[in-house]
Amino acid sequence: MLNISNNSERPPVDLTRFRSGAIVFHKRHYKHFNRFLLLFAGIALVVIFLPWTQTVTGTGSLTTLTPEQRPQTIQSPIPGKIEQWYVREGDFVAKGDTILHISEVKNEYFDPNLVSRTGEQINSKSQSVASYKNKVKALELQVGALSQERQLKIEQAKNKLAQAKLTVKSDSIDLEAAKTNETIAQRQFERIQTLNEDGLKSLTEVEEKRLKLQETAAKLISQENKFLASKNEVINAQVELSRIQAEYADKIAKAQSDKFTAQSNQFDTEAQVSKLQNDYSNYEIRSSMHYVRAPQNGYINKAIRSGVGETFTEGEQLVSIMPSQYEKAVETFVDPIDVPLIHLGEKMRIRFDGWPAIVFSGWPNLSYGTYGGKVVAIENYISTNGKYRVLLAPDSEDHEWPEDLRIGGGAFTLALLEDVPIWYELWRQLNGFPPNFYTPNAPKTTQK
C-alpha cells in the first residue's frame, strides 16, 4: 500500500471459520480433484486412439433421379390468348388431358376455315399440275408427229430430186441425139447442095434437105431448152428439200419450246403445291396447339398465367406440373476441395429436414434417423453457388427412404471416407488440412 488514503487497511479474513470454506479448502477435496484429473487424462488418452471416420459434408435438397421426372413448366410454342381453363391447382391430370384452351392473336391465323381453304388450294393446284402434265404429253406427241411428217416430206423431196436428176440425164441424152441429128442434117444438106450444083440433084431435093436441117436445128434448140428446164427442176427440188428441213425444224423447235414451257409451269406449280402442303400441315399442327395438354401424368402445381383473356408470347411459362411417378434422389453440393474425395458408387448418409435425427459424423454407426444413399453422378462443372453438385440415389442395401418425403425438401449429407485415429483428426482440423485422399478399391476383373 502507498498509504495515500485516509482509510485504514482492511484486516485479513479467515475463510476456514466458515462452514463452506472449511469444506472447500479441506485437503481431502484437493486429493479427489487430482484423482478426477488423472482419470480424465487417462480416458482422454484412450479416446484419442479410437477410430474416427473422416467425412465430407454437404447440403442440398430432394429431387428426382431422371430429368423427365422433375417438376416442369408447360409452355405454348405459339403466342395466344387464354380462353378457358379446364383444371385447378392440385388436380391430377393424365398424359394428353386438356389443361387450357387458347386462341390466336396474329391476324394471319384469324380465319377459322384456314385449314380447309388451304386444302382447297392444294386440290386446285394439283389439278393444274395434272393439266400441265397432259399438255406436256400432247406436245411430246406433236413433236413425234412432226418428226415423222418431216421424215416423209424429206423422203418425198428426195424422190422428186432423184426424178429431176434422171430427167436431166434423159434430156442430156436427147440433147446429144438432137445435136447428132443436126450434124447429120447439115452434112446431108451440104452434100445435096453440092450435087445440085453439079446438076445431079434437083432443087426440090435441096429444099427438102434445107427444111429438114431447119427442123433438126429447131429440135436441138427445143431439146436444149428442155435440158435447161430439167436442170432447173433439180435446183428447185434441192431448194424444196432445204425448205422442208428448215420448216419442220422450226415447227419442232416451237413445239419443244412449248413443251419446255409447260414443264416449267408444271414444276413451278408442283413447288406451289408442296409449299401449300407444308402450310397445310403447319396450320393443322398449329390448330392442335390451341389446346394445351399435359405432357405426362402429374399434378398441377401452380397456374403461372391466370385469368381469361390474358395474352402471352411463344415460349412463355403457363402452368407448372409435378409428375406423379418419380424416383427420389438427393442433389447435394460439396466444396471444390472435397470433390476429388467423392467417387461414383460410394455410399453416403443423408438427414432429411423435418425428420428427427442424431448424427455422429465420426461414428456413423451410432447415428440415428439417417438414411443411406449412393453416388450416381458428379457434376463436371462448378455450380453458380461455387460448389459442385453430386446426385445421390437410394441405397438398396439400406432401409428405404420415408414415403412422405416431398420433392424440394432440404437434406444434409455425409460422405464416409477413411477411418483414422481421433488424435490424427484433431491434428488435421487444427492445421486446416483436407481429409486424406484415397481411391476406392475397384473389383478385380480377369482379362481374357
Q: What is the CATH number of the domain that holds 306?
A: 2.40.50.100
C-alpha cell, 106:
396474329
Q: Say if residue 87 is in the same domain as residue 234.
A: no
Q: Say if residue 60 is in the same domain as residue 134.
A: no
109 belongs to a structural domain: no
Q: Say if residue 157 is in the same domain as residue 93.
A: no
Q: Say if residue 150 is in the same domain as residue 231.
A: yes
Q: Say if residue 279 is in the same domain as residue 198.
A: yes
Please, how many CA atoms are within 13 Å of residue 359, restricted to the half-sphere of its CB? 20
411 belongs to a structural domain: yes
In which residue ranges of the chain is pLDDT below 50? 1, 444-448
**CATH at residue 156:** 1.10.287.620
Q: Say if residue 339 is in the same domain as residue 410.
A: yes
1 belongs to a structural domain: no
Structural domain boundaries, residue 427: 51-69+326-431
pLDDT value of residue 294: 92
Q: Torsion over CA of 418, 420, 424 and 429, rounded to 10 degrees?
A: 40
How far apart, in whole angstroms, are the C-alpha atoms of residue 351 and residue 55? 14
pLDDT value of residue 175: 78
How far apart, in whole angstroms, are the C-alpha atoms of residue 312 and residue 345? 46
Q: Say if residue 185 is in the same domain as residue 271.
A: yes
Please give the tally of structural domains in the chain: 4
pLDDT value of residue 264: 92
Q: Say if residue 235 is in the same domain as residue 172.
A: yes
Nearest to 324 by CA among 139, 143, 91: 91
Nearest to 132 by CA among 264, 251, 273: 264
Q: Say if residue 186 is in the same domain as residue 196.
A: yes
pLDDT value of residue 329: 92
Q: How many CB atoms lie within 10 A of CB 260?
A: 12
Question: What are the angstrom distances between the C-alpha of 442 and each of 156, 345, 417, 425, 439?
Answer: 99, 10, 15, 26, 9
Residue type, 350: I
The pLDDT tens digits for 124-166 are 989 998 999 999 999 899 989 988 988 888 888 888 888 888 8
pTM assigned to the model? 0.58
Q: Say if residue 197 is in the same domain as residue 252.
A: yes
4 belongs to a structural domain: no
Q: Say if residue 253 is in the same domain as residue 147.
A: yes
Q: Say if residue 143 is in the same domain as residue 278.
A: yes
